[in-house]
Amino acid sequence: MLGHLKKHIVCFDFPTLQKQLKKQKKFLIKMIMYKFKNTIVPFASCVLYLMGLYKEMSYMLTTYYVLHMIPTLIYYDVSIVIHHILAIAMCISTFINGIQEHHANIVALLELTTIVVNLYHENIISRELLSVIYIPIRCIWIPNILLSNLNIDTNYFGTSMLILIIMGSYWWSYKMIKKLVYNPICLMGVLQYAQTWLMYNSIGSLGTLIFGIIFNTTGNEYAQYFDIMWNFMYGLYINMTTNSKVVNLLSLLACLEFCTNESNLYHVIFVQTIGNLCLYLYYTNAVDFEAKTWVL
């Protein structure tokens, strides 16, 4: 038995094992580099942003998107081509007008979500996790930065490109969650109340947002009751305390549409959007924007 074991020990080739381990190590490194090849430049741009090198970030991203668009033109993926054209136009506009801090913040957030999207495409993260990260950043945080800085914005062309990118983000978010949630159309529609909450510190809008997300995500019957009751009481309070007949008229139109309509798209346009417009008209007259006080 010892002779048999000795024979195996003698025949064991350590140099060959070392070569195999080196090959496996090289293969692992190549595989990792391949999986993360589309995240290197977005990650580097985020590093430049943190260093305050906004112009260098714009130069890098312009070059990256121009080179990255060539394969998409070959395979003719329309949505990605449009996204790349808008991103290139946005970056080029900063060469002419300069890049303001809030635009740099938005670009950094866009690249952060680009990293997350690429991780999803490489099957590193799930679609559910992608949705949780992507939608709040693209559909809530970035629009809020843009809306909060409109009064100091000087790069109008770049802002228009960002608006188109945000619209595309809403569409891609809808496609992302279409098979994950109960009502994706109304879920995307209720996100607009986040802007009312953030801009006017409205607890009522926050409640509408939370209950709307819960119901449209789960389809739970009890969540629907809470959602309807909250919106009814909140709308009643707004109409009882406003002096605007326009708010009363639009609220009545939204209520009638809610009671008679069965289309999700119509619900977004004529109930959610009109309701949010009423809140905008109400708060622009009733809230001291500079005071930042919490209101119902």
pTM for the model: 0.82
Query: Per-residue pLDDT averaged across 51-80, rounded?
Result: 82
In tens, the pLDDT along 93-123 reads 887 777 889 999 999 999 999 999 988 988 8
Per-residue 3-state assignment (H helix, E strand, C coil) for 33-77:
HHHCCCCHHHHHHHHHHHCCCHHHHHHHHHHHHHHHHHHHHHHCC
Place of tokens 């381990």: 21
Q: 51: pLDDT confidence band, cut at 50, 70 and 90?
A: very high
Per-residue 3-state assignment (H helix, E strand, C coil) for the chain:
CHHHHHHHHHHCCHHHHHHHHHHHHHHHHHHHHHHCCCCHHHHHHHHHHHCCCHHHHHHHHHHHHHHHHHHHHHHCCHHHHHHHHHHHHHHHHHHHHCCCHHHHHHHHHHHHHHHHHHHHHCCCCCHHHHHHHHHHHHHHHHHHHHHHCHHHCCCHHHHHHHHHHHHHHHHHHHHHHCCCCCCHHHHHHHCCHHHHHHHHCEHHHHHHHHHHHHHHHHCCHHHHHHHHHHHHHHHHHHHHHCCCHHHHHHHHHHHHHHHHCCCHHHHHHHHHHHHHHHHHHHHHHHCCCCCCCCEC
So what's the pLDDT on residue 80?
Answer: 78
User: How many angstroms separate the Cα of 216 from the Cα of each of 80, 212, 219, 280?
Assistant: 28, 6, 6, 23
In tens, the pLDDT along 168-214 reads 999 999 999 999 999 999 999 999 999 999 999 999 999 999 999 99
Query: Per-residue pLDDT averaged across 84-90, rounded?
Result: 86
So what's the pLDDT on residue 155?
Answer: 86
Output 134 or 31, whichever has higher pLDDT.
134
In tens, the pLDDT along 204-257 reads 999 999 999 999 999 999 999 999 999 999 999 999 998 888 999 999 999 999
Closest CA to 65 of 49, 43, 44, 89: 89
Instruction: Report the percentage of the chain scoring pLDDT > 90.
Output: 57
| CB count in 10 Å sphere of residue 30 | 10
So what's the pLDDT on residue 95?
Answer: 78
SS3 249: helix
Asked whether residue 12 carries a pLDDT value surpassing 60, the answer given is: no
So what's the pLDDT on residue 26?
Answer: 59
| CB count in 10 Å sphere of residue 32 | 10
Closest CA to 113 of 64, 160, 169: 169
Asked whether residue 127 carries a pLDDT value surpassing 80, the answer given is: yes
CA dihedral 32, 37, 38, 41 (to 10 degrees): 120
So what's the pLDDT on residue 291?
Answer: 42
Dist. CA 191–CA 214, nearest whole Å = 12
So what's the pLDDT on residue 66?
Answer: 85
The first and second tokens of residue 175, run together, are: 């496609």
Asked whether residue 84 carries a pLDDT value surpassing 60, the answer given is: yes
So what's the pLDDT on residue 81?
Answer: 80
Mean pLDDT score across all residues of the chain: 85
